[in-house]
A = this chain, B = another copy of it.
Amino acid sequence: MKRVRIALLGCGTVGSGLVELLARERRRILARHDVHLVIERILVRDVAKARRYVDRRLLTTSAVEAIDRECDVVVELVGGVHAAGAYVRRAIAQRRDVVTANKALLAACGAELFADARAAGVSIGFDASVCGGVPLINVLQRGLAGDSVESVRGIVNGTCNFILTRMEDGMTFVDALRIAQERGFAEAEPEFDVDGWDAAQKMRIVAAVAFDRPVVEEHVSGIRNVTPEWIGRARLGGNVIRLVASAKLTPFGVAIRVEPRELDANDPLACVREENNAVVIRSRAVGELTLTGKGAGAMPTAAAVLADVIAIGTATAAVRAQEAIA
């Protein structure tokens, strides 16, 4: 039995979800993976705030204490770039494995952090940073480990897909956006989503995993120019409009495109409705592989974080033993 001690940084939506999920799944994880997961401490801004499932004695407001005191994995769920980046750098310097759901951080300084981690001999798990509960990074890194990926295209922004499927049902862009905001999956400032930047950020992370090559071309346009007329015209031909993000290998590097496209009814992305995500990976030996699921939400994202913690935890004990020899 391997004991894996977790320092959790941040206890917001996903962090609380992780605490709840771990409480629910701890025994099953021990039985199946022979890993006993223990949250040793939790970095929060306000220790007085009421939180379900959380043992208050674990709370601290000191990031230094949270990261520096002995542990095996630092789980970064504070979000944002500056503080989160400093925490992750400190964790790596202390030779902790890191798991993060922070897409913005990886987009801003992923290359630097992965180089630091490699130099320190630690891992960064980041499956939760792209498409929440869809294990896209796991499939690219492990399921397709023996194959060459040629292209990845998908619906990776749930807000845009929700709006487009509602517009298919006759709703206006403005009304559909309002409902998405009321349901909590569109931001009060929706530009980042509806103008395609969120999708582009995700595809940059996916491209780095799939291709190991630099991005040499990027075209980003969002869903503001999708008119009810275009949707109606597509529908007459049995087609649908989706915001499609893609990354593919060219002779010079990776080309990323995010744009609304009219899809044939037989396209695997055409059946994806509401706030779901879907990604079609085309690789040389396997051909087309499609993953569809919930791209966001506290529990799906927490499950992705937990899967990374278990993968790292399973490897940790063996690697530590190897270091002891070297």
Chain A interface residues (CB < 8 Å from chain B): 17, 21-22, 24-25, 28-29, 31-33, 127, 133-135, 138-139, 142-148, 212, 266, 268, 270-271, 273, 283-294, 299-300, 302-307, 309-311, 315, 317-319, 321-322, 324-325
Contacts and interface: CB of A to CB of B under 8 A. Distances in A.
11 contacts: A21-B285, A25-B146, A133-B285, A133-B287, A135-B289, A143-B307, A285-B300, A285-B303, A286-B304, A289-B292, A321-B322
Contacts of A286: 133, 293-294, 299-300, 303-304
Nearest to A324: B325
A311 B300 CA distance: 25
A268 B271 contact: yes
Contacts of A325: 321, 324-325
Contacts of A29: 145-146
A133 B145 CA distance: 12
Contacts of A273: 266
A222 B25 CA distance: 37
Contacts of A299: 284-286
